[in-house]
Structure 1
Amino acid sequence: MKNMFKVALLATGLFAAVQANAQTVGQDLKSAGKSVGKAGKKVGHITARTASKGAAAVSDKRYEGHYGPGGEKIYINDKSKYFYVNSKGKRVYVTKAQMTTTKPM
């Protein structure tokens, strides 16, 4: 009877230790998944920005000597609208009043 009690106590202790270790491993995997997701999103934004800037440079005209609010290059599309490409690769249309002639430092 005493041996059976010892075996049951040992099995319970091992089970608790394995469960605690499994929870920390699960949390580590979850945080690693978030890191991979953030990195993937960042790479996606960089790719979109590069593709948009390349497409704008080919199909649209660069408005020399004028810059966006953050120092971005200004382009003119075929409908005479002014825009710059933001950090996520989206076109942000601006008015002449929002543009500057000097590049901010």
Structure 2
Amino acid sequence: MKTLWKSMLCALMMSVSFEGIAQSGKDTLKVNPDPAIKKTAKKVGNKTSEIAAKGAAKVVDKTYKDKVGPQGQTIYIDNESRYYYINTKGKKVYVSKSRLKPSGK
């Protein structure tokens, strides 16, 4: 029983000392990315979000084949019979049926 208490006490002391070491270090690396990198990363994130949202919409909602959006976007119909399209940032933009245009297909 004594060895169990000794080993638990030793483990406790080591964990406390490691926490102190981990918290004492200062972050010396300061990254200030180039504005072009920020712009490209934002574009990649938006495109990824758009593709993911369109994929989810194709699986979950119905596609309206006879009509397109104001700029020719694919129109989806959700479970509450609302019409929407996915914008370039991956967000749903709800539109009224009167704003839809006939499909050119």
Q: Given the two structures, how large is their TM-score scaled by the length of structure 2?
A: 0.67
- Runs of 4+, deviation exceeding 4 Å: none
Larger Rg over CA atoms: 1
Q: Per the alignment, in what secondary structure is the counterpart of residue 57 of structure 2?
A: helix
Correspondence for 1:37: 38
Cα deviation digits, residues 49-99 of structure 1 (max 9, x gap): 000000000000001111000100000000110000001100000001110
Correspondence for 1:49: 50
CA RMSD of aligned residues (A): 1.6
Tell me which protein shows more helix as a share of its residues: 1
Correspondence for 1:84: 85
Q: Per the alignment, in what secondary structure is the counterpart of residue 62 of structure 1?
A: strand
Correspondence for 2:98: 97
Is the 8 Å Cα contact of residues 65 and 103 (structure 2) preserved in structure 1? no
Partners of 1:61 and 1:74 lie apart in 2 by 9
Cα deviation digits, residues 8-41 of structure 1 (max 9, x gap): xxxxxxxxxxxxxxxxxxxxxx7x6100000000
1:70 alignment partner AA: Q
Q: Which moved more, 1:78-87 or 1:94-103?
A: 94-103
Partners of 2:80 and 2:86 lie apart in 1 by 17
1:55 alignment partner AA: A
Equivalent pairs: percent with the same residue? 44
Unaligned runs of 5+ in 2: 1-31
Correspondence for 1:3: none
Partners of 1:37 and 1:43 lie apart in 2 by 10
